[in-house]
Amino acid sequence: MSEFTIYHNPRCSKSRQTLALLQENGIEPTVVEYLKTPPSVNRLKSIVKALAISPRDLLRTKEADYKEAGLDDSSLTKEQILKLMVAYPKVIERPIVTRGDRAVVGRPPENVLKLID
């Protein structure tokens, strides 16, 4: 199993570019198609901690599911947001690449280079 994991959507050009950049650097990450297999609440907690952001900062606010899930409600707690992210994985920003306790969002794809020593 690779020490790198990419939360990937193969239909997303940035996600494909980020995966290709990892592979060009000799890294074969564990690929998680998060729309088919969403990360757990606990995994999302560790990702947001590694990114040093709040769960709300990892949301795709222009997705139809964002409004449908009620994520536009500013009174939601972090825990509620995380649970909704699992239930509506389309709202999770992509791609996310993790390595140990570090993480980056591959927007732009070159962000992933920060994880390569």
Question: Which string of b and e fits 30-69 if b means at least 16 CB within 10 Å?
Answer: ebbebbeebbeeebbeebbebbeeebeebbeeebebbeeb
How many other C-beta atoms are found inside a 10 Å radius of the C-beta of residue 117? 4
Query: Considering 6, 12, 86, 106, which one is annotated as catalytic?
Result: 12
CA distances from 34 to 95, 105, 114 (A): 9, 14, 22
Known catalytic membership, residue 73: no
- The tokens describing 93, both together, are 């920003």
In whole angstroms, what separates CA 24 from the centre of its chain? 21
Q: Which residues are tagged catalytic?
A: 12
